[in-house]
Chain A
Amino acid sequence: QKEVEQDPGPLSVPEGAIVSLNCTYSNSAFQYFMWYRQYSRKGPELLMYTYSSGNKEDGRFTAQVDKSSKYISLFIRDSQPSDSATYLCATANAGGTSYGKLTFGQGTILTVHP
């Protein structure tokens, strides 16, 4: 079993839709949770960072962590064609954060069509 599971999709939605992207993880030691956006043939870009359980909002993006169920989510409101990309979730435990050992999901491919 992979430590972080992420449905690869692809996911296709119309412009303006609410998008829900999800990951599950198995290691209860993970405390840090990140979402990256990766455009085709580009490096990943850090979108959201959360610590422990709870919600974090940044503009149209909301990250949600439920440590009791080991479930992390990213919601995109009013989705735009420019949101079309691969979204990667990532996790780390306290020790891993000191040297950047993140565990990534395989990414979900999202297409927002006009």
Chain B
Amino acid sequence: SQTIHQWPATLVQPVGSPLSLECTVEGTSNPNLYWYRQAAGRGLQLLFYSVGIGQISSEVPQNLSASRPQDRQFILSSKKLLLSDSGFYLCAWSVQGFGNTIYFGEGSWLTVV
């Protein structure tokens, strides 16, 4: 069966510091990969998606970037965090071409202070 791992689970970072969240998927090949953000009182917002190694599409202009160095690895980064970057970040995957059934990881809680 497929599993998705995401870390770290919780982090508190000062404004202006860098960020790296990592996600890996097991048990499947060539998945679509996604980064979503969930802010308090709001639904989930798609930030980035990837259909293959090195292929990243951004949905929302922001202070963040994503990379996919390996087939089942997805990384969310920032060079300098802003207070507004605080939130719950979720990595997710779907079968290639079936983006209507998305499976989420456990999430990473980011607080920027």
Contacts and interface: CB of A to CB of B under 8 A. Distances in A.
Nearest to B90: A43
A86 to B, nearest CB: 10
A88 B100 contact: no
Contacts of A46: 101-103
Contacts, number: 71
Contact of A100 (B6, B42, B49, B106): B49
B46 A101 contact: yes
A99 B32 contact: yes
Given A8-B41, A102-B44, A107-B43, A97 B107 contact: no
Nearest to A107: B43
A90 B92 CA distance: 15
B92 A99 contact: no
B87 interface: no
A42 B99 contact: no
A26 to B, nearest CB: 14
Given A41-B109, A101-B59, A102-B46, A96 B99 contact: yes
B66 interface: no
A76 interface: no
Given A98-B97, A99-B32, A101-B99, A45 B43 contact: no
Nearest to B104: A43
A96 B101 CA distance: 11
B7 to A, nearest CB: 13
Interface string A35-66: 01000011111100100000000000000000
A100 B94 contact: yes
Interface of A: 4, 6, 8, 32, 34, 36, 41-46, 49, 88, 90, 92, 96-107
The 7 closest A-B pairs by CB, nearest first: A104-B43, A100-B99, A43-B104, A97-B100, A32-B100, A104-B44, A43-B107
